[in-house]
Structures are given as C-alpha cells and as structure tokens.
C-alpha cells in the first residue's frame, strides 16, 4: 500500500455499514467496498502487475480497481475513452503499461495485451519508463497540440485536494454524489470519488451513455435529466456546457431535482450571466478553477464565500499569487513531474493562466498564450468572449480571432443546422451587450462544420485548436478583411 493512502483506507473501515457505492441494483457498503478492494489488490499483486491502466466505463468496477491499485501500491493510469486510438496507444506505451483492466479490443490486442488467468489483459514490458519517486497515478492532459502529456501525481497531493473539497462543501451535508464526468477525468476521480468517500457520502454511478454523454462531444439532455431524476443527487460536477444545458432546461420548465445542494462547475470559463440565470432558478452553483498539475482544484467558490465572476478563493492546502505579468502562480502540493521530463524545482508553479484578485477572490482572464493584441493595441482573451457567445442558444461553438486586426472576427457553429443567419446575428448582438467595445465581435463567419477531433479543429475533450482554426479559416478571414465593411462600424 502507498503509505499516504493508509488514512483513506482507515476512513473507509471506520464508516462500516454506511452506503458507499450504488450502480443500479448493485450497492456496496463501506465494509463491502473495502473487502472488494482488498481482493482485487491481491489479484493485482499475484499477477505481477506494476503499472495498471483502467479502460472501463463509469461504474463501481472503475472505483474498485482504482482503489485496488492504491491499496496494492501500484501505478494507476486512467485511459480516457474520448481519446483517439492513437492517443490511447501513446498513453499505454509511454507509461509502460503491463496490465490493463477493460475490454479485449482489437487495439489492445495489437499492442500486445492478452487475457490472463486473473481476467485482466497483460503484456510483458522489457523496458520501463522512469517515474518520479512516489508516482501512484499518471493523468494525461489532452492538450491542444501533439500527443497527450503525462502528469505524475502522488496520493498525498490528491488527498490534500480531496480533504480541502470536503471542508469547502461541509455546510451542504452532501450524502449522494452523482458522477457525471468520465471517471478517467482527474477532476471527477478526486472530487467525485475521493472527496465523497472521505465525507462518508454515497457515490451514484451510471454508464456514460445513461448519463447522456455520448463520445467526446455528443450530449443527450433527456437522458441527463432522467439520470438526475433517478439518482436525486446532492452534488454534481459540471462543465460549463452541461451547466448551460441544465439552466436552459430549468428555464423551459423541465423538472430539475430539488435534492441538489452543491453544483461545482469548472473546466472552462463560465459567463457571469449564466451563473445569474442559475441563481434565478435556485440552483446552488459554485464556480472553481484548477489544473491537472495541482491535482485538479486550486480555487473554489463556497456557500460561505461566493462571488459571481470569480473562480473563488484558494483552497486551504495551497497559496496563490500573481506574477508581474498577471500569470497565476501556485505554491503547495502539486505534480511530481511530467512523464519523461525532469522534475520541476521551482517553488512556485506557473499555470499559464492570467488573472487578478478581487479581494481574496481570483478572477481569470484566460490563457496567457491565447491572448491576442488588436490593431488598436488592446489585449483580448478570446475565452472570455467565446464564453459569452456559447451561452446564447443559437450558438454551439465559437472561436474568436483578432490578432493585429481592426475588428474581432468570430467563427460560429450553430446549435442546429437549420439555424438562420439572422438568429446568429441576434445572438452576437446580445453577447456584445455584456462586452466592452474592444472585446466585442465586430464580424462573424458561419463555420463550415462543428469543431471536433475528427477534423482536428478541437481536441478530444472539446478544447479549441486555435492554430488549426486560424490555418483553416485564414482565407475566409482575409476575404472578410478585404471588404470595406470590415473596417467600418460593426
């Protein structure tokens, strides 16, 4: 067992017969959970496994195997189902995975994995990549260019975040948490599994298709609402687009569960107007911020300390300050290093995000590398504008470009194929009302197709590939710039 994990397993043992996990008719108490984990831990050790990849759908099995690797003192590598086959192969090879828990697919067979007597997929590894001492989990960030990057974490850092989250939500008395995001996502793994377990809550688990998340970007709202009605959760973790869907459903008088006490939202910029709309519906939404390098969560709004337009205050286990250029810097528990790279030795970790403090609350401006400067010398962070655009019903995706241009140009993906240009124009005008002149959308283009990993215009988890988008739409932008209207009033 990893030494720092002992406190977690002691906590599980102390909770006894309380309900821990539920997936449909399958339920486990904390005592039963611990027994299952110990049995699976023994299987892993008997098999000779050293590095274990989890390629499972959301469910009790995922949680049990994740905890079993901790109990056995092995390295766990969650394998995102939304990664492409090439990305999954890169993860398995770069992390020197010798044991895989999941279906026996053609890809895994081609990579040398074969069923073992213990029911796992295993392969011999002649050469094993070196990891920082204490690495118990490698989480891969999809990034916006190149192959996914492995972030090496120890269990002490993950549990420090989980304990801070338990403290932050304590007044909500969460008894049931529904895992909405894939468990291979570090945020759901820590905030949706470790934190509820430490709090003695029950984790509600369903396959992703039942939740309504299909593939990397498809979303089925009726299934999502059905899952909420069935689980009646007290807490959820949502991405901004999922929150938008939930708020829109409530505004259209679709039934929402009255059980909700704490809805954490993060993973992207959240428009203040969307949070105000959630407030009007009585939804308890709390925006946060984090990054994989700090085990997901750095700041969080709470019931006691909440300010719309900010990502909250730093969690108690770390400190946050700003560099001279406004970059957010973090000190405290963090990654041990990146796979295949030297361990970072700086005291403060640069996040690559720009922001400022509003009292004790952190306000984010966007990614440092995404900021552009207009022809009039104004700095614009496109994520801010894009967040305002996509909360308009007719707009599903938006990309903003304005580097050295006299006016900002947006490329818009309509939410429905038959959405007329007049509705897109009206949505842009509405979004512009909340923006200063220099950040407004002065001109826009209708996208040829949605931004996705299939056309290389977005990553597998939906982040825009900005360089690829510029290359793709450069000619159309130049044609628009060549017209007189591009330099006139928007």
Give mean pLDDT in consecutive 10-residue pieces for the chain, a chain of 490 residues: 92 97 97 97 94 97 98 96 85 95 93 87 88 95 71 97 97 97 95 98 96 76 95 95 91 95 88 91 96 95 95 96 95 93 85 93 87 79 90 94 89 94 96 87 94 88 88 91 53
- pTM > 0.85: yes or no: no
Q: At what angle do helices 30-47 and 60-72 cross, to 10 degrees?
A: 60
Note the pLDDT of residue 489. Answer: 43
Note the pLDDT of residue 369. Answer: 84
Angstrom distance (rounded) from CA 163 to CA 197? 10
Note the pLDDT of residue 484. Answer: 44
Strands (E), 368-486: 372-373, 379-380, 395-401, 409-414, 443-446
The phi-psi region of residue 112 (left if phi > 0; otherwise alpha if psi is between -120 and 50; otherwise beta) is left
- Topology of domain 3-153, CATH: Rossmann fold (3.40.50)
Written as six digits, the tokens of 124 are 């011999």
Instruction: Supply φ then ψ for residue 119, to 5 degrees.
Output: 85, 10
Contact between 338 and 291 (Cβ < 8 Å): no
The radius of gyration of the chain from alpha carbons, rounded to an integer in Å, stands at 23
Angstrom distance (rounded) from CA 244 to CA 34? 37
Q: Measured in whole angstroms, how far is the alpha carbon of residue 484 from the centre of its chain?
A: 42
Note the pLDDT of residue 487. Answer: 43
| CB neighbour list of residue 234: distance below 8 Å, 6 or more residues apart | 172, 173, 174, 175, 176, 177, 201, 259, 260, 261, 262
Note the pLDDT of residue 406. Answer: 82
DSSP 487: G
- Topology of domain 372-487, CATH: GMP Synthetase; Chain A, domain 3 (3.30.300)
Note the pLDDT of residue 143. Answer: 55
Note the pLDDT of residue 244. Answer: 87
Angstrom distance (rounded) from CA 66 to CA 190? 11
What residue ranges of the chain are covered by domains with CATH 3.40.50.12780? 156-365
Angstrom distance (rounded) from CA 399 to CA 457? 10
Note the pLDDT of residue 311. Answer: 95
Please state which architecture CATH assigns to domain 156-365.
Answer: 3-Layer(aba) Sandwich (3.40)
Note the pLDDT of residue 371. Answer: 83
Note the pLDDT of residue 216. Answer: 52
Written as six digits, the tokens of 171 are 């007044």
Note the pLDDT of residue 359. Answer: 96
DSSP 458: B
Note the pLDDT of residue 340. Answer: 87
């Amino acid at each position: 067992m990893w030494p720092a994990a002992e406190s977690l397993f002691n906590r599980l043992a102390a909770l006894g017969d309380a309900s821990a996990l539920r997936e449909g008719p399958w339920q486990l108490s904390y005592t039963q959970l611990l027994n299952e984990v110990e049995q699976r831990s023994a299987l892993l050790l008997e098999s000779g496994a050293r590095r274990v990849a989890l390629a499972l759908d959301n469910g009790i099995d995922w949680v049990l195997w994740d905890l079993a690797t901790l109990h056995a003192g092995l390295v766990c590598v969650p394998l995102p189902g939304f990664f492409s086959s090439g990305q999954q192969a890169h993860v398995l090879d770069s992390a020197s995975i010798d044991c895989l828990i999941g279906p026996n697919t053609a890809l895994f067979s081609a990579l040398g994995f074969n069923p073992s007597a213990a029911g796992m997929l295993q392969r011999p590894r002649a050469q094993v990549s070196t990891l920082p001492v204490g690495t118990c989990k490698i989480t891969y960030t999809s990034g916006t260019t190149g192959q996914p990057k492995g972030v090496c974490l120890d269990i002490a850092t993950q549990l420090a975040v989980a304990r801070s989250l338990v403290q932050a939500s304590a007044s909500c008395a969460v008894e049931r948490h529904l895992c909405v995001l894939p468990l291979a996502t570090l945020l759901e793994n820590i905030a949706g599994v470790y934190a509820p377990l430490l709090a003695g809550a029950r984790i509600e688990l369903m396959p992703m298709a039942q939740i309504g998340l299909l593939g990397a970007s498809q979303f089925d709202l009726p299934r999502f609402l059905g899952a909420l009605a069935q689980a009646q959760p007290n807490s959820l973790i949502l991405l901004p687009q999922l929150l938008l869907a939930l708020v829109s459903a409530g505004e259209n008088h679709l039934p929402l569960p009255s059980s909700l006490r704490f809805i954490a939202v993060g993973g992207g910029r959240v428009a203040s107007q969307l949070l105000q709309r959630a407030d009007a519906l009585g939804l308890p939404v709390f925006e946060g911020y984090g990054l994989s390098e700090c085990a997901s969560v750095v700041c969080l709004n709470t019931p006691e300390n909440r300010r719309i337009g900010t990502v909250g205050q730093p969690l108690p286990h770390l400190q946050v300050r700003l560099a001279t250029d406004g970059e957010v810097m973090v000190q405290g528990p963090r990654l041990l290093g990146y796979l295949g790279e030297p361990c970072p030795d700086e005291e403060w970790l640069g996040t690559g995000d720009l922001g400022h403090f509003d009292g004790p609350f952190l306000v984010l401006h966007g990614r440092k590398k995404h900021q552009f400067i207009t022809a009039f010398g104004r700095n614009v962070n496109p994520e801010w504008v894009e967040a305002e655009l996509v909360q308009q019903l007719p707009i599903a995706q938006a990309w903003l470009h304005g580097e050295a241009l006299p006016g900002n140009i947006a490329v818009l993906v309509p939410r429905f194929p038959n959405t007329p240009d007049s509705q897109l124009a009206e949505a842009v005008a509405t979004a512009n009302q909340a923006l200063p002149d220099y950040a407004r959308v002065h001109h826009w283009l209708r996208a040829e197709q949605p931004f996705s990993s299939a056309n290389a215009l977005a990553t597998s988890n939906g982040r825009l590939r900005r360089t690829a988008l510029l290359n793709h739409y450069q000619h159309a932008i130049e044609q628009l710039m060549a017209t007189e209207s591009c330099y006139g009033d928007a």
